[in-house]
Homo-oligomer: A and B are copies of this chain.
Amino acid sequence: MTSDARFAEVASLAGEPTRVVMLHALMDGRALTASELARVAGVTPQTASDHLGKLVAGGLLSVQQQGRHRYHRIASAAVAHMIESIVQVASVAMPMRRTLATGPKDDALRRARTCYDHLAGRLGVALADALVVGGHIDLTPDAGLLSNSGMALMVRIGIDVASLSPSMSKRGRVLCRPCLDWSERRPHLAGNLGAALCALSFDKGWIRRIDGTRAVRITPAGYRDYRELLDVRLVP
């Protein structure tokens, strides 16, 4: 198999409508069973099984067996990054083309959602903006830097910054990087710090997942603490 053929295999695996729904459902980092993914995608279990087998064989998903359930998840950060980059291309406005449909489900996604392991949507962008305005981080299109005041702030709200440094974490993932938001077209916060803020938000009850989707709902406590602790102004 040539490298070109392998490229085509990967891209076409990600280019089938049913598989797209499955991949996007897994983009929050959770592991879902074949039945759950079949229901999400609106196909029968045997069809879903076929697709999942191909995605696993192609290296896009990894599978973990627990009893009679088989949990599927995004195989690697590289795969998640690839999906993000395809979303970027797919979300650009196209001339001579009617705009993309935006249902009520999309509205919830635009408001606040998870993007692989960090926060996105208006919430994610507002959070990044507030940190930049407060002088806590410095964001350029391709890199991010946490300032001393930012480190102090993170420690104050309960994030152990030291344990997030690239040398400590697996894969050498960077502490802080921007990730272009597909709905807002502006950067939000990714990297280990972005993941930690997302995890903290769930732990503290600032956000809750809507159904089984990537969309999240901001709780009253979330509105209060985001404003008081991080100076993030959100309109319900």
CB-CB < 8 A to A16: which residues of B?
8, 12
Among candidates B6, B94, B106, B143, residue contacting A3 with C-beta atoms closer than 8 Å: B106
Q: Which of A128-146 contact B (CB under 8 A)?
A: 140-144
Contact A10-B174, Cβ < 8 Å, known A1-B100, A140-B166: no
**CB of A103 to closest CB in B, whole Å:** 8
A235 within 8 A of B: no
Q: A5 on the interface (CB 8 Å rule)? A: yes
Q: How far is the CA of A9 from the CA of B90 in the complex (A)?
A: 8
How many copies of the polypeptide does the oligomer hold? Answer: 2
Which A residues between 1 and 52 are near B, CB-CB below 8 angstroms? 1-17, 20-21, 24
* B143 and A143 form a contact (CB under 8 A): yes
Q: Given A4-B21, A15-B12, A173-B142, do A89 and B79 touch, yes or no (CB 8 Å)?
A: yes
Q: Tell me which residues across on chain B come within 8 A of A98, comparing CB atoms.
A: 1
Q: Which of B5, B13, B20, B81 contacts A7 (CB 8 A)?
A: B20
Whether A173 contacts B141 in the complex (CB less than 8 A), given A7-B86, A82-B86, comes out as yes
- The CA-CA distance from A94 to B57 in the complex, in Å, is 9
Residues on the B chain within 8 Å of A147, using CB: none
Bound: A199/B173 CA distance, A: 30
A88 close to chain B: CB less than 8 A: yes
30 examples of A-B residue contacts, CB within 8 angstroms: A2-B100, A2-B101, A3-B91, A6-B90, A6-B100, A7-B90, A8-B16, A9-B15, A9-B90, A10-B86, A10-B89, A11-B11, A11-B20, A11-B86, A12-B15, A60-B89, A76-B89, A76-B92, A78-B88, A79-B89, A81-B85, A82-B86, A82-B88, A84-B85, A140-B166, A140-B172, A141-B166, A141-B171, A142-B174, A143-B177
8 interchain residue pairs of minimum CB distance? A12-B15, A11-B15, A142-B174, A143-B143, A11-B14, A82-B85, A85-B85, A15-B15
* 5 further interface pairs, Cβ-Cβ under 8 Å (given A141-B172, A142-B174): A1-B100, A3-B101, A7-B87, A13-B15, A78-B89
